[in-house]
Amino acid sequence: MLQIQRHHDAIASPQGEPWMSSLTSKRPSTSAEQRLQDYRALMAIIVSGVHGTDCKESEFSGSTFRLPDLDALTTVNSIPATTAHCIVRQGIPSRSLVALGEYLGIGKGALAELVDLDRATAFRKVAVEKPLPMHAAESVLRLLELNQLAEDTFETPEEAAAWLRRGHPMLGGESPLDWARTAYGAERVKEILIAVKYGGAV
């Protein structure tokens, strides 16, 4: 279960073993209910830096910004674009990297690379509780969205995690997580996942 806490003492240095963990770290099997609780805990951290009053009057294509009602979540849903835009613009707390790594079963060093931060910079931001830069915040939401789609496509979170880490022939032998480092790459991964979900030949 994710622990929502201050992470000053819980994080190893960039040279420490936990920070250098690779993408191959295994996530323990969890029940659907526990998975949902972990997702709610992660989302609580992600939106903790957002003040709804700053965005609630903003409208894009008729869609008004609303923070997600965490207690009402019964499934792991994609974040609406308007909400994601405001979350990224206002800033995601850097400690979300720790929670996201736990949720995805990805080592902190590998996760820092996936959000395009060098390990030392990521460690420093978490230690002093600085918000993530916009590009890294967007990457956090992108990884979460891809993981959600993968878990919706495969039977278990463990199968989804394995697929995201495994090299794929339609991605030049690279893993879907490697491609998720860019928005365009992530779109290609989504196309493949949707094809898998609906019986396409991939």
Q: How is the chain split into domains, by residue range?
A: 32-197
Give SS3 for 59: strand
Task: Check residue 155 and report its DSSP letter.
Answer: S
d(CA 6, CA 128): 10
Helices (H), the chain: 32-46, 81-90, 96-104, 108-114, 119-127, 134-153, 157-165, 176-179, 183-197
Task: Check residue 182 and report its DSSP letter.
Answer: S
The length of the chain in residues reads: 202
- The whole-number pLDDT of residue 73 equals 66
Task: Check residue 65 and report its DSSP letter.
Answer: P
d(CA 193, CA 198): 9
Residues 16 and 9 sit within 8 Å (Cβ to Cβ) = no
User: What is the pTM (predicted TM-score) of this model?
Assistant: 0.77
The mean pLDDT of 140-168, rounded to a whole number, is 94
> What confidence tens digit (pLDDT) does each residue in 172-199 have?
999 999 999 999 999 999 999 999 999 8
Give SS3 for 60: strand
The mean pLDDT of 129-146, rounded to a whole number, is 92
DSSP lists the bridge partners of residue 93 as: 131
DSSP H or E stretch at residue 193: helix 183-197
Give SS3 for 165: helix
Nearest to residue 104, comparing CAs of 139, 66, 68? Answer: 139
Which one is predicted more confidently, 192 or 46?
192
